[in-house]
């Protein structure tokens, strides 16, 4: 999708899926982080006008409403700075007017910063806020949703991720990358996108699937080199056609876990294929938990472990599943097959079979 010329445009169904996942994640992000942090920062790097022709809310309104309408009142009492960046003056003005109309009175601790510039040009001023966050260790969530590849160099994401509590939710238009992969004029853009020229190895790969996997693995590798401990992505497809991908990078396995929960929650309403850190593919509308069982068995076979260890592994970018799934869909089947044995000293701690409390040790064979 190229950049629209008009102030408002119609939201396509797959962008709607991206926004549904964003809302679901922010519904979890705001209350959890409000408990432990004095200040939160939300950045929308390509905010647009705030709404679409067909009546759907844009990402700025989704973020504001996730905080304003949250059932946890602590969220509304939290200091939250919303930074909306938009280079088109008419769209930014539309967003300002829309926010003023819909939310004439904001909570006293909420503030909104508007920047009429390109994301990469506005980032210096925004990063002043980020760098202040670094010293205060306050979380930042950055929504980066460009129309192309030239406005989001890895150097900017690197600076964002220097804050150990920063998280990035970024759209990548793979078809644009693939279309111009062998174009000399496009090379500088891709050098900046990936933060190196390692992407050029993909020019030698004729297999489309291997080429895409290589580029996606490289992008996640660069996000991790920038400071993220976890990096995942999920694809949005229309039939057999790939539309775009969303990457999520964070310094916390728990953030990764919450994002995967958001993806799984929304997936039945859309046409998603999700790829985990190992490049595994799973159609979330018809989940198969055998890969989860296999991943846990491969990682922990022959060791005495607790559920907490399993939970952090499953929730991280090492699997395509989330932590609410592993007890019922992996540990229980393993025990039913006789492949999970409870530590002799902990058998008496169980109220009943197929329960797995945090203090119970078990071994998987």
Look up the CATH number of the domain holding residue 30: 3.40.50.150
Same domain (yes/no): 184, 302: no
What digits encode the pLDDT tens for the residues 77-101?
A: 888 999 999 999 999 999 999 999 9
Collect contacts of 51-54 with beta carbons under 8 A, ≥24 apart. 51/8, 51/94, 51/98, 52/8, 52/9, 52/10, 52/11, 53/8, 53/9, 53/10, 53/11, 54/10, 54/11
Determine contact, residues 274/237, Cβ cutoff 8 Å.
Answer: no
More reliable by pLDDT, 8 or 50: 50
322, with CB counted inside 10 A (0-12, 13-18, 19+), is: buried
Collect contacts of 306-313 with beta carbons under 8 A, ≥24 apart. 306/358, 306/359, 306/360, 306/361, 306/362, 307/331, 307/356, 307/357, 307/358, 307/360, 308/358, 312/253
Assess if residue 4 is contained within a domain: no
Judged by phi (left if over 0) then psi (alpha if -120 to 50, else beta), residue 356 lies in beta
Q: What is the mean pLDDT of residues 196-202?
A: 97
Same domain (yes/no): 299, 279: no
**In this predicted structure, what is the pLDDT of residue 129?**
66
Assess if residue 129 is contained within a domain: yes
Cβ neighbours around 178 below 10 Å, total: 15
Same domain (yes/no): 105, 33: yes
% of the chain at pLDDT higher than 90: 61
- Tell me the residue range of the domain where 332 lies: 290-364
> Sign of the CA dihedral 32, 33, 37, 38?
negative
Split at pLDDT 50, 70, 90, the class of 198 is very high
Same domain (yes/no): 125, 236: yes
Going by C-beta distance under 8 Å and a sequence separation of 6 or more, which residues neighbour residue 241? Answer: none
Task: Write down which residue in 283, 303, 332 finishes a domain.
Answer: 283
Same domain (yes/no): 228, 343: no
Same domain (yes/no): 30, 51: yes
Q: How many domains does the chain have?
A: 2
Using the predicted structure, report yes or no on whether residue 329 has a pLDDT greater than 60: yes
Q: What is the mean pLDDT of residues 181-204?
A: 95
**In this predicted structure, what is the pLDDT of residue 134?**
58
Lowest-confidence pick of 125-134, 191-200, 299-308, 329-338: 125-134
**In this predicted structure, what is the pLDDT of residue 65?**
94
**In this predicted structure, what is the pLDDT of residue 278?**
46
Assess if residue 2 is contained within a domain: no
Using the predicted structure, report yes or no on whether residue 292 has a pLDDT greater than 90: yes
Assess if residue 186 is contained within a domain: yes
Assess if residue 231 is contained within a domain: yes
CA 359 to chain centre: 31
Assess if residue 103 is contained within a domain: yes
CA 20 to chain centre: 12
Same domain (yes/no): 129, 255: yes
- Tokens at 222, concatenated: 């660069």
59-72 burial, b for 16+ CB within 10 Å, e for fewer? bbbbbbbbbbebee
Same domain (yes/no): 235, 323: no
Sheet strands side by side (includes 340-342): 304-305, 362-364, 340-342
Assess if residue 108 is contained within a domain: yes
Task: Write down which residue in 261, 283, 305 finishes a domain.
Answer: 283
The position carrying tokens 């999520």 is 248
Same domain (yes/no): 300, 239: no
Same domain (yes/no): 159, 196: yes
Task: Write down which residue in 254, 283, 312 finishes a domain.
Answer: 283
Assess if residue 336 is contained within a domain: yes
What digits encode the pLDDT tens for the residues 2-27?
A: 567 788 888 876 677 788 889 999 99
Same domain (yes/no): 60, 205: yes
Same domain (yes/no): 164, 23: yes
């Amino acid at each position: 999708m190229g950049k629209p010329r008009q102030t408002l445009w119609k939201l396509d169904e797959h962008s709607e899926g991206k926004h549904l996942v964003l809302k679901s994640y922010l519904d979890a992000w705001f209350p959890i982080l409000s408990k432990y942090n004095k200040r939160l920062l939300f950045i929308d790097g390509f905010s647009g006008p705030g709404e679409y022709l067909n009546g759907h809310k844009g990402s700025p309104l989704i973020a504001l409403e996730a905080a304003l309408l949250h059932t946890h009142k602590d969220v509304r009492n939290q200091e939250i700075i919303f930074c909306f960046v938009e280079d088109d003056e008419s769209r930014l003005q539309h967003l300002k007017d829309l926010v003023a109309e819909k939310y004439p009175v904001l909570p006293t601790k909420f503030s909104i910063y508007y920047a009429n510039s390109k994301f990469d040009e506005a980032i210096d001023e925004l990063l002043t806020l980020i760098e202040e966050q670094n010293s205060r260790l306050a979380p930042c969530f950055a929504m980066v949703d460009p129309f192309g590849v030239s406005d989001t160099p890895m150097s900017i994401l690197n600076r964002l991720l220097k804050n150990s509590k920063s998280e990035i939710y970024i759209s990548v238009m793979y078809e644009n990358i693939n279309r111009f992969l062998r174009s000399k004029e496009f090379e500088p853009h891709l050098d900046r996108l990936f933060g190196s020229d390692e992407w050029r190895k993909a020019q030698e790969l004729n297999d489309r699937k291997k080429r895409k996997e290589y580029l996606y693995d490289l992008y996640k590798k660069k996000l991790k080199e920038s400071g993220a401990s976890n990096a995942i992505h999920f694809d949005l497809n229309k039939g057999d056609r790939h539309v775009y991908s969303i990457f999520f990078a964070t310094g916390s396995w728990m953030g990764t876990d919450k994002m995967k929960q958001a993806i799984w929650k929304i997936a039945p309403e859309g046409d998603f294929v999700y790829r985990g850190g190992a490049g595994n593919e799973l159609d979330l509308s018809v989940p198969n938990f055998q890969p989860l069982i296999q991943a846990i068995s491969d990682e922990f076979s022959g060791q005495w472990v607790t559920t907490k260890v399993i939970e952090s592994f499953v929730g991280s970018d090492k699997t395509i599943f989330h932590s609410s799934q592993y007890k019922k869909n992996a540990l229980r089947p393993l025990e039913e097959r006789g492949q999970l044995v409870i530590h002799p000293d902990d058998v008496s701690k169980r109220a009943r079979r197929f329960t797995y409390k945090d203090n119970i040790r078990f071994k998987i064979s």
